Amino acid sequence: MKITAADVVVTSPGRNFVTLRITTEDGLTGLGDATLNGRELAVEAYLREHVAPLLLGRDAHAVEDTWQYLYRGAYWRRGPVTMAAVAAVDTALWDIKGKAAGLPVYQLLGGACRTGALAYGHASGRDIPELLDSVRAHLADGFRAVRIQSGIPGLDSVYGVAASAAGEGERYDYEPARRTRTAHPRPTEETWDTRAYLRHMPTVFEAVRHTFGPELPLLHDGHHRMTPIQAARLGKDLEPYDLFWLEDATPGEDQRALRLIREHTTTPLAIGEVFNSVHDYTTLLQERLIDYVRSAVTHTGGITAVRKLLDLAAVYGAKSGMHGPTDISPVGMAAALHLDLAVHNFGIQEYMRHAPETLEVFRTSYRFEDGLLHPGDAPGLGVELDDAAASRFPYEPAYLPVNRLRDGTVHDW
């Protein structure tokens, strides 16, 4: 079954998405998510100009061979742009394979290990009362686990807190990457104070536990904004509140930095949403420095690569916790859910509902019921792209914020 076309669709229904659509001689189509938040056009060009021509005439069923061909054949390996492009091709080919077989992709991966994937939602507030209301709203929506993010006294805007202002008076809701709508778009700059954050977060979790009790799984994202010793302190300070995980406590490029955190706290650790290869994890897994792998299918080479990563993680007792905010398109989310259902070492799935405009463009079969996500049983991934709807939402430049310390230094995150 030969590939006859590979088209790239860029659309912005609430936020920017890059989608690859592969078509075969039999008329089957497969979709792959190639969205790289704030660098979307780099991946579009990589796919359109370098990858799509290589796919024409190839066997659409040769998923593993095509993955190796694209990864090794370019000589320049890894990196977010390359791996997002490879992921889009790989995911689209799995979609085609499922449609050809008349089966959902999870069945091709070995079948279901569970009835659904436990999902966590994003509760946040500018202050503790607003945060508690957000937790209540998420529980009312059916979530059984929630991520806790809070405003920090003295800081006007905090990334990850939906109700805080974020450039031009907008809110951090569906689109944390700001659309500056100027002749020369630039990222919004926000002030950050790590010491204030470290003082405040234990009081936040104390209030949440006091209100909602000991059973509710609570997660927290540090957004890479701590040094290893600061992260060790926070992990230790939060131990009484029994977190499900502390995520991205420190930048992960130096894998050995996690040793210091691990030595000082028993709070479970999750990392990897900015990683794009199994090689980013080798020390972390072999030395058991993390508990959850956070990579997204979209940014880590597709279903083929993430399945291998999770198989390796299982050897060292680590579980999945795949990245799933709204900068992962419904195509990428569906791909994650098929893996969630099929892998033995599933942990939890991040889930943010997409904007209504996004769901006009991407028609999905996955569902959220009683705190669990299921990819559905439609053949392939179970997502279709509406071209007419996509054409109504042209691309707009948008960038994640830059954090600066109070002295003006650009802060690592």
- Cα–chain-centroid distance for residue 106? 19
Task: Let me know: does 82 contact 76? Beta carbons within 8 Å.
Answer: yes
75 is a catalytic site residue: no
Per-residue exposure over 51-70, b if at least 16 CB sit within 10 Å of its own CB, e if not:
bbebbeebebeebeebbebb
Of 122, 223, 323, 374, the active-site residue reads: 223
Amino acid at position 357, single letter = E
What span, in angstroms and rounded, lies between the C-alpha atoms of 293 and 245?
11
What span, in angstroms and rounded, lies between the C-alpha atoms of 34 and 22?
13
What span, in angstroms and rounded, lies between the C-alpha atoms of 111 and 338?
9
172 is a catalytic site residue: no
Angle of CA points 79, 84, 87, to nearest 5° = 120
Radius of gyration of the chain (CA): 21
What span, in angstroms and rounded, lies between the C-alpha atoms of 248 and 149?
13
Segment (H or E) for 24? strand 17-24
> Which spans in 213-279 are helix H?
228-237, 257-264
Cβ contacts of residue 305 below 8 Å, gap of 6+?
67, 83, 86, 87, 90, 277, 278
One-character DSSP codes across 68-115: HHHHHHTSS--SHHHHHHHHHHHHHHHHHHHHHHTSBHHHHTT--SSS
Q: Is 376 left (phi over 0), alpha (psi -120 to 50) or beta?
A: left
What span, in angstroms and rounded, lies between the C-alpha atoms of 19 and 34?
6
Of 46, 71, 120, 159, the active-site residue reads: 159
- Cα–chain-centroid distance for residue 264? 28
Give the catalytic positions in this structure: 159, 223
